[in-house]
Structure 1
Amino acid sequence: MSADRLRMVMVGLALGMIGASVGLGATSAATLSDKKPNSGVAAAHDMPVQGIDVSYFQGNIDWKKVSRAGIRFAYIKATEGTDRFDLEFRDNWAGAKKAGVVRGAYHMMYWCSYASEQASWFLQHLPKDADTLPPVLDVEWNGYSKTCPHEISRTSALAKIKVMLDAIEAQTGRRPIIYTDPKFHRDVLAGEFTDYQFWVRSVAAKPRAKYPGRDWSFWQFTTTGRVPGVAGAVDRNTYNGTVADWKRVEKRLQANGGATGAVPASAE
């Protein structure tokens, strides 16, 4: 996406997020010290707007320390399938907001359940706050699952995803973002849902190497990151835009009292 078009998107569209911003100066950048030189992924550490995604696996999080470390956004697991609610969701949701970290919620797709029931479960637990990132649908093969490790057909997977996306948007008025990994994108999503924004996982290369031609808004670049305030490993992410882009969105939302919309994306 060209710089001019990116600016137009940022002016015309908005995320639901809090008005407070978190500084990303040299001191903050220095505290995020798991940078790996000589890797394509190292570029992600130098991108100016950094984030994390978390679930109960991270345990108790000190969100004030996370914020002071320069983390500006967080995606927080809410639900999975039709009956799993993340036990740390409420604490993480409240803690992130109090610390000034922009947050959003995500649902992990379970391939052995009806999509309509999963949508109802997620929406039942999705806070109605107006100051948040768009909801995310996490779609990947669940090979580690004890109850549903198998893969389904591409046609069936696409149908389930569409049911979920449509239901979330109909209920919230916001178009969800799709999270995925390289294998699932290659097996199912390549060429599909081009009018949706993507949050992509790529821990070995820049997104353009794993998702050729795919625009993306967020990049999960490591699953073993270290961030002050989180006791162990944590997924780290970056936003596909500048600090100025991020601040313009925050300012717009602060003025409008919250709005729905999108994050700029690039085919970088």
Structure 2
Amino acid sequence: MMILCICTVIGVTGCGVSTDSQESSWNEAADPWSYSFGVHVFTEGDGRVLRPVWRVIDVSEHQRNVNWQKVKQSEVDAAILRIGYGHGNEDKYFKNNLAQVRVNRIPHGLYLYSYAYGTDFAREEANFVLQTLRKYSINDKTIPIFYDMEHLDDWGGHTMPTRPIQFEQIAKVFFGALEDAGYTNLGIYTYAHNMATRLDSDWLREHANWIASYSNTLEYDFAGCPDPHAWQYTSTARVPGVTGDVDVSVFDLRFFMSAE
């Protein structure tokens, strides 16, 4: 089956990790995307091919008003929408983005940018996500939901964790609350250097299935993480309907096979 190809190629071992910098080194002039049998194919800079995959953007209030009809008419296959950050902070454009991807029948998932400094805060973040899912009648338990774990400085008098076991405990509480509510398609988003340092635990590696590594070749091996995987390869793409730069990722299409 073709679907095994992405598992084999994205699971390549022996790759280095990216630096902590989130600055993209992608050459946008060299389009890596093509089609085969009606499904996207992504060709890495070294010639390796990922297939079958989807071209996926992620958006938040930073992209402001997205013209989702134009996005639908472009070669974008799906979108990941920021539901909010921390707890009680709904993304200012989430309501509109969700309504428009529904109207335009664009497959979609969600992510929450975490501010958690401990397990109690992580539980509040999970409760906020669940409340927002109910608020907008997001009833599909297989919708992709990602916990965005990035480096944060201490904030609001709170001291951020410094050890992987602390981040692991935080993520376990978040995942546990959503799993108890029946949501099954969960993952962690982060970047490769963070995975190799602050999040360096077996459990976190197992659940970190969406990785940012800005290069024209995949520089992360997803060791210990079961399929499916996703790779955010650039933050400076241009997509019809989106003003300015936008993140684009290569997603194993199985993330969206059952999602609404």
TM-score, length basis structure 1: 0.69
Aligned to 1:105: 110
Deviations 1:137-191 (A, max 9, x none): 1112124978768553222111011000111111133241211111221121453
Aligned to 1:74: 79
Answer yes or no: is 1:49 the counterpart of 2:49: no
Answer yes or no: is 1:156 the counterpart of 2:166: yes
Residue identity (%)? 23
Match of 1:34 among 9, 28, 36: 28
User: Measured at CA, do residues 101 and 192 of structure 1 come closer, stay the same or move farther in structure 2, by a change above 3 Å?
Assistant: same
CA distance in 2, matches of 1:140, 1:41: 28
Shift of 1:83: 2.6
User: Measured at CA, do residues 100 and 163 of structure 1 come closer, stay the same or move farther in structure 2, by a change above 3 Å?
Assistant: same
Match of 1:123 among 117, 121, 130: 130
Ranked by relative contact order (alpha carbons within 8 Å, sequence separation 6 or more), the top structure is 1
Does structure 1 conserve the Cα–Cα contact (< 8 Å) formed by 2:108 and 2:144? no
Aligned to 1:218: 230
Deviations 1:51-85 (A, max 9, x none): 10000000100001111111111000012112311
Does structure 2 conserve the Cα–Cα contact (< 8 Å) formed by 1:78 and 1:89? yes
CA distance in 1, matches of 2:216, 2:154: 24
User: What amino acid is the match of 1:85?
Assistant: E
Answer yes or no: is 1:62 the counterpart of 2:67: yes
Tell me the SS of whatever aligns to 1:61: coil
CA distance in 2, matches of 1:73, 1:196: 21
Q: Which has the higher strand share?
A: 2
CA distance in 2, matches of 1:179, 1:156: 17
User: What amino acid is the match of 1:83?
Assistant: G
Shift of 1:240: 2.4
CA distance in 2, matches of 1:226, 1:144: 33
Does structure 1 conserve the Cα–Cα contact (< 8 Å) formed by 2:3 and 2:51? no
Aligned to 2:151: 141
Match of 1:171 among 162, 176, 181: 181
Tell me the SS of whatever aligns to 1:172: coil
| Structure 2: stretches of 5+ with no match in the other structure | 8-26, 33-43
| Structure 1: stretches of 5+ with no match in the other structure | 10-32, 260-268
User: What amino acid is the match of 2:113?
Assistant: M
User: Measured at CA, do residues 36 and 142 of structure 1 come closer, stay the same or move farther in structure 2, by a change above 3 Å?
Assistant: farther
TM-score, length basis structure 2: 0.71
User: Measured at CA, do residues 165 and 97 of structure 1 come closer, stay the same or move farther in structure 2, by a change above 3 Å?
Assistant: same
CA distance in 1, matches of 2:185, 2:61: 26
Q: Write out aligned runs for 1:170-249 (5 A).
A: 170-187=180-197, 188-193=199-204, 196=207, 198-204=209-215, 206-207=217-218, 209-211=219-221, 213-215=223-225, 216-241=228-253, 249=257
Q: Which has the higher helix share?
A: 1
User: Measured at CA, do residues 35 and 165 of structure 1 come closer, stay the same or move farther in structure 2, by a change above 3 Å?
Assistant: farther
Tell me the SS of whatever aligns to 2:242: coil
Root-mean-square deviation over aligned CA pairs: 3.6
